[in-house]
Amino acid sequence: MRKLYFFDTTLRDGEQSLGITLNVREKLDIAKQIVRLGVDILEAGFPASSPGDFESVKIIAKEVKGAVICGLTRCVAKDIDLCAEALHEAEYPRIHTGIAVSPIHMEKKLRLSPQQVIDRAVEAVKHAKSYMNDVEFYAEDASRSEKDFLAKILTRVIEAGATVVNIPDTVGYATPWEFGELITYVKNNVKDIDRVKVSVHCHNDLGMATANSLAGIKAGADQVEGTINGIGERAGNTSLEEVMMALYTQKQNYGIDLNIRTKEIAAASRLVSLITGVPVPNHKAIVGANAFMHASGIHQDGVLKETQTYEIIDPEIIGVPRSQIVLSARSGRHALKYRLNELGYEVQDSELEKVYENFLLLADKKQEVYDEDLHALMGVAMSEQNQFKIKNISVATSGTQSAMATITLEFEDKEVKDAAIGNGPVDAVFKAIDRITGSQAKLEDYSLKSVSRGTEAQGNATVKIASGTKSCIGKGISTDIIYASAKAYLDAVSKLNA
């Protein structure tokens, strides 16, 4: 059995694809859950990209223990200086620096000769090495590079002190057999390759990120990089949960010592989805709502006779328990806490009372509170307090095209009331909120989906707004979809004004 290192880049490669910036608390919540999952390296961000990202990486480096904390840089001295500063208090720091190596990138984007690219790479690795021992080098667009040049630049950065060399399929161009052959070539043709770890970082443009990563691992890669739920640039990154469970179910074919707490997978997936506002498709492998659902009569018959006929993974292995406890308005704190613990939430006694109050408010409106409702409830509990609180909303409609909303908000112990006319009730509510808060942000996206089942199901509203270069996502959940929409919009406005 050999050790495979898991490198999570949800907070860097994943976040940069969202079109928003998560706040520090949101990033910390995600970082801590990912470390609970058992990943070895957490890429916390790109410190040189913005003051906010620098501060986030700095705080994560200080507060998150138990994993290597990594920051990304270009092959630019200032990037590396800022990254080293941000990682100063990390328990185990790593600088991840690199440069593009394919002919098209070197000629058209960098406008550098191959030798200039090598020189920059070597200089960057040496500069990073002056700050810390652990330095990873990424050869961007490696899958479209010329193999002899790739071997040459990797040899040189290893000589300069790199401890990990990353072979990315940056644009998701490779097929599994091609990518496996590329890793084999690197292992066989790069001098002193045994002195470093070989990493694979694949994108999903052709839908093969997980397959390519597994091919790389099969060919001898020591580290795999990806994100939770596969979020990332364009079509996304390798889904780490897919790689983890592929290795778990095919242990005999890989010989990997999987040191992952698989029961944290579902919790990590839900948390990332809740905080980023990116829903997990029902048909998503491993963590989708339908992943363990059987609709066909033949399948149902088989599962009832023997679960392994149609379930290659026991849902409890990834933290989706089969519960017999029914929660309702008559359920007590102990039952609620027990169920939340089963779902992966650690609720301290000091927090339980507030969560229980919110649970009772929900239970009074529903006959039964489902697991989906609890996930939504905890997503609200983990979000930051809004500057504004909704006291009352009333909406009057006239036909299908016009509505007037009157809303009362509490702000700094004062109640403010205003009204607005809009193209439908949700538009009217948003405009009334704008009048009260003074917000001039542009609404970029709005979505509403059912959280659980039945006519009493909660509505989960997600709003994305932007002002200048700053974008924020807000979330709101309620059995009243107008109220849920208003909460989501206020959540986004509060974040934008923070």
Do the domain assignments include residue 67? yes
The answer on 119 and 43 residing in a single domain is yes
Q: Which residue has the tokens 């709502």?
A: 289
Residue 297 has which token pair?
């009569």
pLDDT at residue 174, rounded to an integer? 98
Q: Is 285 within the bounds of a domain?
A: no
Residue 293 belongs to a domain: no
User: Are 417 and 373 contained in the same domain?
Assistant: no
Is 450 part of a structural domain of the chain? yes
Strand 470-478 versus strand 459-467 pairing type: antiparallel
User: In this predicted model, what pLDDT tens digit does every residue of 35-81 receive, in sequence order?
Assistant: 999 999 999 999 999 999 999 999 999 999 999 999 999 999 999 99
Asked if residue 126 belongs to a domain, the reply is: yes
| Model pLDDT, residue 304 | 67
354 lies in the same domain as 209: no
Domain match, 333 and 446 both: no
Same domain? 103 vs 211: yes
Per-residue model confidence (pLDDT) at position 382: 58
Position 325 scores a pLDDT of 59
Residues 6+ apart with CB under 8 A from 329: 360, 363, 364
Number of domains in the chain: 3
Which ranges constitute the DSSP H helices of 232-332? 240-249, 251-254, 265-276, 297-305
Give 150's Cβ-side CA count (13 Å radius): 27
Structure confidence by residue, pLDDT tens digits, 380-394:
665 545 678 899 999
Q: Is the domain of 361 the same as that of 267? A: no
Say yes or no: 344 and 465 in one domain: no
For the whole model, what pTM was predicted? 0.82
Which amino acid, 203? H
| 17 and 105 together in one domain | yes
**Is the residue at 290 inside a domain?**
no
181 and 85, same structural domain? yes
Give the per-residue pLDDT at 98: 98
Instruction: Tell me which of 332, 347, 382 is where a domain ends.
Output: 382
Give a yes or no: residue 284 inside a domain.
no
d(CA 292, CA 307): 11
Cα–Cα distance, 422 to 333 (Å, whole number): 42
CA distance 195 to 197: 7
Strands 223-226, 388-398: pairing kind: unpaired
Domain that holds residue 13: 2-276
Calpha distance 411→413 (Å, rounded): 5
407-433 in b/e form (b: 16+ CB < 10 A) is bbbeeeeeeeebbbebeebbbbbbbbb
Ranges of residues in the chain with a pLDDT under 70 are 294-297, 299-300, 303-304, 321-326, 379-386, 400, 452-456
Is 215 found in the same domain as 231?
Answer: yes
* CATH number of the domain residue 410 falls in: 3.30.160.270
Domain containing residue 360: CATH number? 1.10.238
Out of 382, 409, 438, pick the residue that ends a domain: 382
| 186/335 same-domain check | no
In a domain, 288, yes or no: no
Please tell me whether residues 110 and 234 are part of one structural domain.
yes
